[in-house]
Amino acid sequence: MNKKVFLLTIILSLFSFNLFSQSSDKKKVEEVIVDSYIHGLIDAKDFQKAKQGIHEDFIILGHKDSLLTKKTRDEWIQQRKKRLSLPEVSYTIVYLDIEGDAASAKIEFERDKLVAIDYIFLYKFNDNWRIVSAIDHFKGSRK
């Protein structure tokens, strides 16, 4: 009987540790998305913060008709610096999925009744989450 209790205690401890680890990672991933991607880059509040959380080899992909578009982190920052007067976006993190050192998120944005969806992909490097790529989708405008 003691072996069963001991084994159950070990299993519950491992399960609890895993849940704590996932909730800790979830918080860190959300912070990188909000601080670096949304506030740092999209809202153009802090480009240094954007560079901290968005990997230097980051690429965002989009499409127009049948053409695939690509933009690096630094190209996006330069583009955003030319349009500092845009209003802030409202956003919702629709989902966040974490598995080991990889994560993905779906973010819905709205600015001036225009709605877009970004799918963001992250890796964990030496205990730091960084955004490595994204794809965007213009959903349309709200009436």
Identify the band that residue 86 occupies on the pLDDT scale cut at 50, 70 and 90: confident
Query: What range does the domain containing 75 cover?
Result: 2-141
User: Number of folded domains in the chain?
Assistant: 1
Task: Say if CB 136 and CB 91 are below 8 A apart.
Answer: no
Q: In CATH, what number is assigned to the domain containing residue 111?
A: 3.10.450.50
Instruction: Break the chain down into helix, strand, coil percent, rounded to 5.
Output: 40, 45, 15
Average pLDDT, the chain: 87
Considering the chain, what percentage of its residues have pLDDT values greater than 70? Answer: 83
DSSP string, 24-88: HHHHHHHHHIIIIIIIIIIS-S-HHHHHHHEEEEEEEEEEETTEEEEEEHHHHHHHHHTTTTSPP
pLDDT per residue as tens digits for the range 22-55: 578 999 999 999 999 999 999 988 999 999 999 9
64 Cβ neighbours under 8 A, 6+ residues apart: none
- Dig out the tokens for 81 from the structure: 């610096």
* Among candidate residues 52, 114, 106, 41, the one with its CA nearest the CA of residue 75: 41
pTM: 0.81
Identify the band that residue 10 occupies on the pLDDT scale cut at 50, 70 and 90: low
Q: What pLDDT, on the 0 to 100 scale, is given for residue 84?
A: 86
Identify the band that residue 20 occupies on the pLDDT scale cut at 50, 70 and 90: very low
Identify the band that residue 65 occupies on the pLDDT scale cut at 50, 70 and 90: confident
Q: What letter would DSSP give residue 89?
A: P
* Among candidate residues 94, 97, 88, 123, the one with its CA nearest the CA of residue 106: 94
Q: What pLDDT, on the 0 to 100 scale, is given for residue 5?
A: 59
